[in-house]
Amino acid sequence: MRAPQLLLLLLAFGRSQAARNTTFPEGFLFGAATAAYQVEGAWNTSGQCLQPLPLWLMLQYRECIAGKGEHIWDRMVHTRPNCIADRTSGDVAADSYHKYKEDVKLLKDVGFNFYRFSISWARILPKGDVSVINKDGIDYYNNLINELLANNIQPVVTMYHWDLPQHLQDLGGLVGSAFGDYFEDYARVLYTNFGDRVKWWLTFNEPGTFVDGYTSHGCVPPAVDAPGVGDYLVAHSILKAHARAYRLYDREFRSEQKGNISIALSAGYGTPKTNSNADIEATETFMQHSLGWFAHPIYSQEGDYPAVMKERVANNSKAEGLFRSRLPEFGEYWVNYIRGTADFFGLNYYSSWVVSHVGSSLDRASRWSDMDVMSSQDPGWTVSVATWLAYTPFGMRGLLSWVSKNYNNTPILITENGWADTGEINDTMRAKYYVNNLAHLLDAIYLDNVTVLGHTAWSIIDNFEWAQGYTQRFGLHHIDFNDPQRPRTPKESARVFAALIKNRKLPENYLDKVIE
């Protein structure tokens, strides 16, 4: 084992298991998550649509025939089925649209305090704009929210989880000049219809991931091949749209609804390959280019993109003969407008990376060549069926501490954390993953004084895993996708979580041995 990683493990594990606090503090919240396209199904369900006049009253509607609209993942799976590992789709998925009460019961049986789910933009607004509002879509999410609250489970709602209405994509998508207008209007519809009961909002999920739809002709929609340009433009647009949704809530809804708003950012934890200054600096660059890219404009005191990122992209752009940096500039107005637009830090963590300095070997400009680093996995790590996901629970503490130190100990909610396998009912590795990630989370709380609000397991049920289809499973409950009834079966991890939540203490039989 490399010296830096041994040091990380020593710091993470502490001196002995007996000295480790494995009890959850009062008020710590447990939740589980899904995303609309991955579980709902009912992809083309018809319904009643409403045209609001005026919008803010949400009362004066003209009835018409409508239903859920097509979004970019609908278009992808139907026109390019070879993009999906098993040539499946989310057309039916777990059928949560019809089985939401069963899923709420699963959440209650485990004892979860909240449920993080996303709203399908195209199910609410079939065309993406407010010219048509689907009443059946509004009713579905109202029913889900009410069912959750009736079972003492708080809804945590994500506005956008990768499923842009196709109509908006046709008008320019995430980089279109009007995207911020459309997203603010969409947010207004959500606040108006659900904000009396929803007190936790996330604007976007993992923008650092879905920007890849603008880096190649691959299998992430909309499959625009513009690396080092398109991804930066999307990020720029998303940060502005996020801030607009936040400022809208401040102006018109917060005083009455008294909710909290953030964005769910995803990051792996970078560890230096060696003790060299070059690798240590490369690791910090990796963290700033990945997580800081979105976090720094929102959470830092100065706002804007990280300085190292601006400098590197500007220098590379100049060397490429460009007239301006491929990384757009905000200007003073937008720097001030975006800064501070979050009430907590939404953080998705799955795995860690070993980082080293390397000269760019890429022929094309990209955000990876702009970093000038190499990230890899330690060959000693256990890797899940998802090749990017390794068993590295020490990274949970490392990442939480990094965020806390860089962003003034903003309260953090782990909004996703999970393990991939092929669907085993006796999923002991998933149980081990969760228990030990939570152990390092508690180390961050008790030893590093990090403020952590709670933890979200991905996912409450098996679901459609994007380009991997149903070949990879993350659920605490197994779903038989060959059965039209989509039966749910608890896995070992669900039973472990239920006991953990009931006792508010980590089970010792799943804890890794600590280093004495």
Annotation marks residue 206 as catalytic: yes
Asked if 269 contacts 352 with a C-beta cutoff of 8 angstroms, the reply is yes
Asked if 325 contacts 313 with a C-beta cutoff of 8 angstroms, the reply is yes
- Contacts of 352 by beta carbon, 8 Å cutoff, 6+ apart: 268, 269, 270, 271, 390, 392, 394, 395, 398
Residue 338 lies in a domain: yes
Q: Please name the residue ranges forming H helices in 166-227.
A: 166-170, 179-194, 207-210
Residue 219 lies in a domain: yes
Element containing residue 298 per DSSP (H, E): helix 293-299
Identify the pLDDT of residue 19: 74
Identify the pLDDT of residue 49: 53
- Contacts of 226 by beta carbon, 8 Å cutoff, 6+ apart: 214, 215, 233
Identify the pLDDT of residue 361: 55
Cis upstream peptide for 487 (omega within 30°): no
Q: How many domains in the chain?
A: 1
Give the integer Cα–Cα distance in Å for 473 and 168.
31
Report mean pLDDT in 10-residue bins for the chain, 516 residues.
Answer: 45 52 97 98 78 44 68 97 98 98 98 98 97 95 98 98 98 97 98 98 98 96 97 98 98 98 98 96 97 98 98 96 97 98 98 90 80 95 98 98 98 98 98 98 98 98 98 98 98 98 97 71
The pair of three-digit structure tokens given for residue 436, joined into one six-digit string? 């030990």
Residue 152 lies in a domain: yes
Identify the pLDDT of residue 362: 54
Q: Pick the catalytic residue from 147, 206, 284, 465.
A: 206
Give the other-Cβ count within 10 Å of 405's Cβ: 11
Asked if 418 contacts 459 with a C-beta cutoff of 8 angstroms, the reply is yes
Q: Which domain holds residue 212?
A: 3-510
Orientation angle between helical segments 96-110 and 492-503, nearest 10 degrees:
50
The pair of three-digit structure tokens given for residue 65, joined into one six-digit string? 């025939």
According to DSSP, residue 467 is labeled G
Identify the pLDDT of residue 63: 44
Q: Pick the catalytic residue from 147, 284, 416, 465.
A: 416
Cα first-last separation, the chain: 17
Task: Classify residue 279 as exposed, middle or buried by CB count within 10 Å of its CB (0-12, 13-18, 19+).
Answer: buried
Give the global pTM: 0.93
Give the integer Cα–Cα distance in Å for 232 and 330.
12
Biggest CA–CA distance in the chain, Å, is 70
Residue 515 lies in a domain: no
Residue 32 lies in a domain: yes
According to DSSP, residue 326 is labeled S
**Residue 192 is part of a domain; what is its CATH number?**
3.20.20.80
According to DSSP, residue 346 is labeled E
Identify the pLDDT of residue 358: 86
Residue 516 lies in a domain: no
Residue 168 lies in a domain: yes
Annotation marks residue 508 as catalytic: no
